[in-house]
Amino acid sequence: MEMPNSFGPMFENTSRTELSEIGEFGLIERLTARIQLQNSSSVKGAGDDAAVIDPQGLHQVVTTDMLVEGVHFDLAYVPLKHLGYKAIIVNLSDVYAMNAKPRQVTVSLALSSRFPVEAVEELYEGMLLACSKYEVDLVGGDTCSSRSGMIISVTAIGAAPREEIVYRSGAKEHDLLVVSGDLGGAYMGLQILEREKLVFKETGSQQDLEGNDYILERQLKPEARRDIVELLKQLEVLPTSMIDISDGLASEALHLAKSSGLGVRIFDEKIPIDPSTYNTARDFNLDPSTCALNGGEDHELLFTISQKDFDKVKGNPGLTVIGHMTDAASGCQLVDRQGGLHPLQAQGWNAFPKGA
């Protein structure tokens, strides 16, 4: 799946079949025709009142996310295939954050008549691409009409041995706080897309999006950190707590601290930021650290490990120790480059903006 290098139509196929022509059952048949179940735990996929899963002796984890057009995505610059891919990924990321392996997803779609069958097929293509890559089965869902726009609701189900499931609440005082990958990129990608959308609106001229590949990919085609979950298993490190970074590092660190009844200290200078994220933030007159702390959608994993496991993760390029857990009384603090303490605040994405 290529990154879009300019603003184009939100879907590629130029023919147009109305949803009302083929109806709900016709649409479901077309969408499910290409599904092939790949997990032996998926006993029965789409086509009955419910899907059937064989847990195979494992515990199950369940997570769900809703994406609303005009709130979570803008089809002016998000191709439908990418949207479908991302809708799956954000849910898989939550499953990995439990240290579990995703195995099934269900997808519900509400669509206005603006979308022809071909558009829905491209959305689905992106979903099935993510499913295929992460070895997950799309086992069911629901499709219906909406009065305006598109709403996507995905539920992901994963599995893990009971003793391997990692909660937000398990961190202990003095545990190290570790983050995978780098932060702020998805947010800066969004800023580029929003800026180019404005330019396009005002001048009609197509800005070339090239040269911002990394941060655009972070926004438009994020990946879930299966590799990190597998790496930790290989290193024989069981995190004491873990969370997926969807609302920004600050917000998620506060969740870990609160759930574990602790405080947390994050060192500003340790926060991993990619050079292209850094430079773009500077171009926008934004503080790169603030973007990393409060920009959402990075879908990296934030977790705590016992100090005794430090040697196992040390020097791993995909993992950065950015702080540690403290007692609750010490509060949640950001330590600046001069050693000054600043209360950590969640200024992440607000699901209910005023006047929305």
Nearer to a second copy, 244 or 274 (CB): 244
Q: How far is the CB of 134 from a second copy (least distance, A)?
A: 15
248 binds a second copy (CB under 8 A): no
Nearer to a second copy, 280 or 294 (CB): 294
17 binds a second copy (CB under 8 A): no
Candidate segments 145-153, 196-204, 280-288, 329-337, binder of a second copy by CB under 8 A: 145-153
Residue 12 in tokens: 């590629």
Do 276 and 164 contact (CB within 8 A), yes or no? no
- Figure out which of the listed residues 4, 84, 126, 140 binds a second copy, where binding follows CB under 8 A: 140
Of the candidates 233, 90, 258, the one whose C-alpha atom is nearest the C-alpha of residue 161 is 233
Amino acid letter, 46: A
Alpha carbon distance 33, 35 (integer Å) = 6
Candidate segments 30-38, 159-167, 180-188, 283-291, binder of a second copy by CB under 8 A: 159-167
Residue 214 CB: number of other CB atoms within 10 A? 17
Site track for a second copy across 195-224, x = CB under 8 A = ------------------------------
Cα dist from 310 to 174, 229, 320, whole Å? 12, 16, 11
Residues in contact with a second copy, total (CB under 8 A)?
A: 77
- Figure out which of the listed residues 3, 68, 328, 335 binds a second copy, where binding follows CB under 8 A: 68
- Figure out which of the listed residues 113, 206, 345, 347 binds a second copy, where binding follows CB under 8 A: 113
> If 0-12 CB within 10 Å is exposed, 13-18 middle and 19+ buried, where does residue 87 land?
buried
Candidate segments 74-82, 146-154, 175-183, 325-333, binder of a second copy by CB under 8 A: 146-154
Do 181 and 223 contact (CB within 8 A), yes or no? no
Alpha carbon distance 315, 321 (integer Å) = 10
Nearer to a second copy, 162 or 314 (CB): 162
Alpha carbon distance 271, 179 (integer Å) = 8
138 binds a second copy (CB under 8 A): no
Identify the three-state secondary structure at position 176: strand
Nearer to a second copy, 89 or 209 (CB): 89
Alpha carbon distance 67, 152 (integer Å) = 5
Distant-in-sequence, close-in-space partners of 352: CB < 8 Å, separation ≥ 6 = none
Alpha carbon distance 254, 263 (integer Å) = 8
- Figure out which of the listed residues 5, 13, 149, 330 binds a second copy, where binding follows CB under 8 A: 149
Terminus-to-terminus CA distance in the chain, angstroms?
33
Stretch 168-197 residues interacting with a second copy (CB under 8 A) = 168-169
Stretch 78-107 residues interacting with a second copy (CB under 8 A) = 94-95, 97-98, 100, 104, 106
31 binds a second copy (CB under 8 A): no
Nearer to a second copy, 92 or 192 (CB): 92
Q: How far is the CB of 315 from a second copy (least distance, A)?
A: 27
Q: How far is the CB of 318 from a second copy (least distance, A)?
A: 20
Maximum CA pair distance of the chain? 65
Q: How far is the CB of 166 from a second copy (least distance, A)?
A: 9
